Amino acid sequence: MASQDWFEKDFYAILGVPADADAKKVKSTYRKLARQWHPDSKPGDAAAEKKFKEIGEAYAVLSDPEQRKQYDAVRAMSRGGARFTAGGAGGAGGAGFEDVFAQMFGGAGPGAGGQGGGTRFSTAGGQGINIEDLLGGFAGGGQYAGGSPFQSTRGPRPGRNVEARTTIDFTSAASGDTVTLQTPEGGRVTTRIPAGVKDGQKIRLRGKGLAGDPGAPHGDLMLVVTVRPHPVFGREGNNLTLDLPVTFAEAALGATVPVPTLDGGTVKVKIAAGTPSGRVLRVKGRGIKASSGTGDLLAKVTVVVPQRLTDKAREAVEVLAAEEDGADPRADLMQRARE
């Protein structure tokens, strides 16, 4: 942003925060305003788009400690805190600029001196400094060195990076998705979410952030992806997980049962006779397909205890209990607990 804009715009007023607001207050206020004035919530409202852009510009400066320091100094001059006059020895009325100059650049402030080619100031050594160069230094485009006038050494500043968020469902995260986002400057950008993206993962969209100085590249847009949980499937790396209910008879005698897959189909899984509750069965290659590889489907066996028994079923269980009389499934647990 051009330095002269800093004279004209009151970023504190735009965000509605006091000049001594801390970084946390600035950030929370910006987020609230950005949601309020986001063009997506006010489609076709040109005033909302303009307001949203102004809010973004204000936050870009006030959230950066160095830019905020420079902005405060420039605003101090625009409010009359730094007074200066061009002209010869009669420029004594310039008292006040010296303080700002000393704070920003160190050492004694310059005395007023009038030389052609724009308003200039003289250091104790008599070296002239042009106000246009000075403002360029405030904006980060110049550097004062060795008593020489301000000279641009860094070139145009690139735009700042910004962060955006999007939420997609579990299945879309596994297979990939396409989303459309609002840029900080009111435009739109469509991007592809890669297959296998994880909850909280950041995706960098180069050149989609805030605009920089003329001729400089835009910043980047950092997209944070939130993945909604699935009612059945979980995720461990690229592996899919689920709990697989089986009957007592299936676990005791063995069986082949269907297991759901994320694509809406099923796959047959063999339950070995005597399978205990908690055993994990692995189905190769039926997990998340990502650039880092394809995971497996992990089915954790959960033996379901019947809540109601018929008379015949109860008799069968009682026969089983009689056959197992004397067997203690907790004997090993008790032994290990005493070790």
pLDDT digits (tens, 9 = 90+) for 296-322: 999 999 999 988 889 998 998 889 888
Cα distance between residue 221 and residue 20, in whole Å: 29
Is residue 95 very low, low, confident or very high in pLDDT (cuts 50, 70, 90)?
Answer: very low
Q: What per-residue confidence (pLDDT) applies to 225?
A: 94
| CA–CA distance, 152 with 87 (Å, rounded to integer) | 26
Same domain, 62 and 128: yes
List of residues 6+ apart from 330 with CB closer than 8 A: none
Residues 8 and 130 in one domain: yes
* DSSP secondary structure code for residue 213 in this structure: S
> Which tokens sit at 244?
């697989």
Asked if the structure places residue 102 within a domain, the reply is: yes
Instruction: Give yes or no for residue 104 having a pLDDT over 80.
Output: no
Q: Are residues 187 and 278 in the same domain?
A: no
- Check: CB of residue 112 under 8 Å from CB of residue 91: yes
Which of 204, 227, 250 is where one domain is finished?
227
Q: Under 8 Å CB-to-CB from 172, ≥6 apart: which residues?
A: 193
Mean pLDDT across 72-94:
53
Examine the domain organization and report whether 81 and 42 are in the same domain: yes
Mean pLDDT of the chain: 78
Note whether 208 and 267 are same-domain residues: no
CB atoms within 10 A of CB 239: 16
Report yes or no: 300 and 244 within 8 Å, Cβ to Cβ: yes
User: Is residue 143 included in any domain, yes or no?
Assistant: no
Q: 71-80, 301-310, 328-337: which has the minimum mean pLDDT?
A: 71-80
Q: Does 185 reside within a domain?
A: yes
In this predicted structure, the answer to whether residue 65 has a pLDDT above a threshold of 70 is yes
Assess if residue 123 is contained within a domain.
yes
Domain count, the chain: 3
What is the distance, to the nearest Å, from the Cα of residue 134 to the centroid of all Cα atoms in its chain?
Answer: 35
The pLDDT score that the predictor gives to residue 329 is 82
Taking the whole predicted model, whether its pTM rises above 0.85 is answered as no
Average pLDDT on 189-194 reads 90
In a domain, 252, yes or no: yes
Task: Summarize the confidence of residues 52-77 as an average pLDDT.
Answer: 84
Measure the CA–CA gap between 336 and 339, rounded to whole angstroms. 5
What whole-number distance in Å separates Cα of residue 149 and Cα of residue 129?
A: 5
Give the CATH number, domain containing residue 69. Answer: 1.10.287.110
* Mean pLDDT to the nearest integer, 147-173: 76
Residues 91 and 195 in one domain: no
Q: 224-248: per-residue pLDDT in tens?
A: 999 999 999 999 999 999 999 999 9
More confident residue, 271 or 140: 271
pLDDT at 131 (0 to 100): 45
| Number of Cβ within a 10 Å radius of residue 210 | 22
What CATH number is given to the structural domain containing 268?
2.60.260.20
Q: The domain containing residue 204 runs over which residues?
A: 162-227
Report the pLDDT value the prediction gives residue 339, as an integer from 0 to 100: 83
- pLDDT of 151 > 70? The answer is no
Domain shared by 196 and 245, yes or no? no
Residue 144: inside a domain:
no
pLDDT of residue 36: 85
Do 253 and 282 sit in the same domain of this protein?
A: yes
Q: Which of 12, 118, 26 is nearest to 75 (CA)?
A: 12
At 137 the pLDDT is 46
Q: Give the residue, 262 or 41, on which the prediction is more confident.
A: 262
Residue 307 pLDDT: 87
- Provide the pLDDT for residue 72: 85
Regarding whether 294 and 183 lie in a shared domain, the answer is: no
Residue 168 has pLDDT above 90, yes or no: yes
Q: What is the DSSP string of 296-338?
A: -EEEEEEEEPPS---HHHHHHHHHHHHHTTT--TTHHHHHHHH
* Final residue of a structural domain among 210, 227, 244: 227
Distance between CA atoms of residues 231 and 318, nearest Å: 37
333 and 244 in one domain?
A: yes
Q: Could you tell me if residue 153 is inside a domain?
A: no
Report the pLDDT value the prediction gives residue 167, as an integer from 0 to 100: 93
- Is residue 294 one of the residues assigned to a domain? yes
Least confident of 14-18, 50-54, 102-106: 102-106
* pLDDT for res 154: 59
User: How much is the pLDDT for 302?
Assistant: 95
Residues 181 and 246 in one domain: no
pLDDT band at 7 (very low <50, low <70, confident <90, very high): low
Residues 238 and 331 occupy one common structural domain: yes
Residue 108 has pLDDT above 60, yes or no: no
Q: Give the chain's end-to-end CA distance (angstroms, integer).
A: 71
Q: Which of 177, 205, 227 is the last residue of a domain?
A: 227
Lowest-confidence region among 159-163, 253-257, 287-291, 322-326 = 322-326
